[in-house]
Structure 1
Amino acid sequence: MTRDEALKIYDQIVAACPKIERKGKTMPYTSANGYMFSQLNKTGEIGIRLSKTEGKAFMQKYPSSGPFRSYGAVMKDYVLIPEELLTNTDLMASYLEKAHQYVLTLPPK
């Protein structure tokens, strides 16, 4: 999948969550409470930030997932969204909403 294709999918997932706004022009992301909770990296991979419990459960349920990397660094609490899940907009929107709720529990930056 190309980065442009991944960007279209990312935009669809974010659009399915009316309370969440996509930010960033060259590096699309979502944020709340001073924390990013999803992003599209330069290679076209999508990562979502989940609580440690949710993230562990996600990676166990979807073995093709794993830690998410951006600019060569492992992003704290992020999971890589496997390509086979990207077209399931409803499922991905539910995880994006979980990520949003998670960062709202963190102390504001």
Structure 2
Amino acid sequence: MDWEKADQNLGEYLATLVAGYACKKKMMFGASVYFVNDNMWTGVKGKIVFLRLSENDRSAIQAENDEIRPFEPAPGRMMKEYVEVPESKLTDDEFAHKWLDISYSYVKSLPPKVKKEKKTKSGKPGRK
């Protein structure tokens, strides 16, 4: 499977949009991805930005714009709480900030992600 390289300009633009939010940046999908309380929030994959939203908000954003689709980072591997936002919608500042705020509030409301203990080859928990 060919992996579409992340659009660097889009990644830089998303960085400016999320600059005012309390989040951590990590590299995933070959680009910057932002996390809140260790829960994935938003990022770039190829030429799209993805956002994590509640079920009601996913329905609302898709009703507002028919370019918004469920996020599918690989064919047949849909990420259920995420939507793809094309670059054309992000340049609309009102749209971008509205949905980043809604998404951020949702992800911030989630319990902090707890890292799972790594298992050894035998299947038993490893030592720390």
For normalisation by structure 1, the TM-score amounts to 0.81
Supply the AA of the counterpart residue of 2:60. Answer: A
Alpha-carbon spacing, 1:106–1:12, altered in 2? closer, same or farther (3 Å): same
Partner in structure 1 of residue 97 of structure 2: 93
Q: CA deviation at 1:22?
A: 5.1
For structure 1, the 5+ residue unaligned runs are: none
Q: Greater relative contact order: 1 or 2 (C-alpha under 8 angstroms, separation 6 or more)?
A: 1
- Equivalent pair of 2:52/2:81 in contact (CA under 8 Å): yes
- Number of residue pairs the alignment of both structures matches: 105
For structure 2, the 5+ residue unaligned runs are: 1-5, 114-128
- Structure with higher strand content: 2
The within-5 A match list for 1:1-109 is: 3-15=7-19, 18-21=20-23, 23-25=25-27, 26-41=30-45, 43-72=46-75, 73-109=77-113
- Structure with higher helix content: 1
RMSD: 2.0
Q: CA deviation at 1:24?
A: 2.2
Task: Percent identity, please.
Answer: 25
Structure (1 or 2) with the larger CA radius of gyration: 2
